[in-house]
Amino acid sequence: MPAHSESLAESLERLGLRSPVIQAPMAGGGDTAALVAAVNEAGGLGFVGAAYLTDAQIAERARDIRGRTALPFGVNLFAPTPAPAPSPALAEALARVAPFHAELGLPAPEAPAYAEDGFDRRFAALLDSGAAFYSVTFGLPPADTVAAAKAHGLRVLGTATTVAEAVALERVGVDAVIAQGSEAGGHRGSFIGDPAANLIGTMALVPQVVDAVGVPVIASGGIMDGRGIAAALALGAAAVQMGTVFLTCDEAGVPDAHKDAILAAREDQTRLTRAFSGRPARGIVNRFMATVEDPRAPDAVLPFPMQNTLTRPLRTAAGKAGRAEFLSLWAGQGLGLARRRPAAGLVADLLRGTEATLGRLAR
């Protein structure tokens, strides 16, 4: 049966979800074991962004989660990344970052070395982790991993920013497509066509993806409360994947400077940038972004993952020093609705708010 003729309860059951609320994987430290477990215990699905973790760290995080909750959780990876060609922007990229190193007392930045992306080792750790969900962004999950994950009883999810990407994901056998609108915080999952053209908002993207694929669709981007969840369900989504709203939870692992920036920012203060990693991602505009991607100066951004490696020492030092002007302040356009609170209360409010909105509409 195509997903759009199923009831919501049927789609949730098919996906193995207890409610429509999924806490987005947030590679880089936001999604601690405490956050994942609190989300699970409150009725949502917690996810770990494992793209920057080693296989040993994935095993350790999973153990930590399993010690806190017996409920299912997910692990997310970036699709395998080919080695980028040497960039003509290298000298300019180093020069643009160097003054910030000096300001934080770090040694001068060095040309980043390409490290093999370790996808196979991470995937093996994911299979052994006890996770019930495997999701991928930045591309298609390799076909052998889809088969292996399914053979282990995991459900497989892939991220699409266009209808074409959603159809390609369905063809490799994913169990559901995450339709990521341009409002979303963090990296864009785009992998077909021009990333600058793939900026379709959640409201426009979700129903077009729902009509194009037979698997359930998970809406992502700019959803911050029960009103947004009910709207996503009305568009035909079976569930939602929310990132920004979880970042200001007490259990989220990002620096306080990041949480404070989200709580202080307005909805018009985020922008897509390649300055931190080399791939477009949405974050709150700060001095680093404005300087590195100065539209009046020559290109100074290396391709992913080289720019990410280049800027890591600065971001790590800035996190310790509480210097928001050098942090990747990932956040989506709904950030004005974020509040500081424990995750359990947030998930309870999300579920209650969804019911209340659906009830109001039914009356």
Ligand X SMILES: Cc1cc2nc3c(=O)[nH]c(=O)nc-3n(C[C@H](O)[C@H](O)[C@H](O)COP(=O)(O)O)c2cc1C
Binding residues among 313-342 for ligand X as defined by CB under 6 A: 330, 332, 334
Q: Least distance in Å: CB of 100 to ligand X? A: 21
Q: Least distance in Å: CB of 99 to ligand X? A: 26
Q: Which of 170, 175, 183, 225 binds ligand X (CB under 6 A)?
A: 183
217-220: strand order across its sheet: 21-23, 239-242, 217-220, 176-180, 155-160, 133-137, 74-78, 47-49
Q: Which of 185, 226, 255, 280 binds ligand X (CB under 6 A)?
A: 185
Distance CA 170, CA 172 (A): 5
The gap between the terminal CA atoms of the chain, to the nearest Å, is 29
| Strand partners for 21 | 240
251 binds ligand X (CB under 6 A): no
220 binds ligand X (CB under 6 A): yes
Q: Which amino acid is at 112?
A: P
DSSP for 302-355?
Answer: PPTTHHHHHHHHHHHHHHHHT-GGGS--B--TTGGG---B-HHHHHHHHHHHHH
Question: Is 279 in a helix, a strand, or coil?
Answer: coil
Q: Least distance in Å: CB of 363 to ligand X? A: 28
230 binds ligand X (CB under 6 A): no
32 binds ligand X (CB under 6 A): no
Q: Rounded to 5 degrees, what are φ and ψ at 185? A: -80, 155
184 binds ligand X (CB under 6 A): yes
Selected range binding ligand X among 19-27, 91-99, 162-170, 340-348, rule: CB under 6 A: 19-27
Q: Which of 23, 87, 129, 137 binds ligand X (CB under 6 A)?
A: 137
Q: Least distance in Å: CB of 40 to ligand X? A: 17
Q: Which two tokens stand for residue 235?
A: 């568009």
Selected range binding ligand X among 20-28, 192-200, 294-302, 304-312, rule: CB under 6 A: 20-28
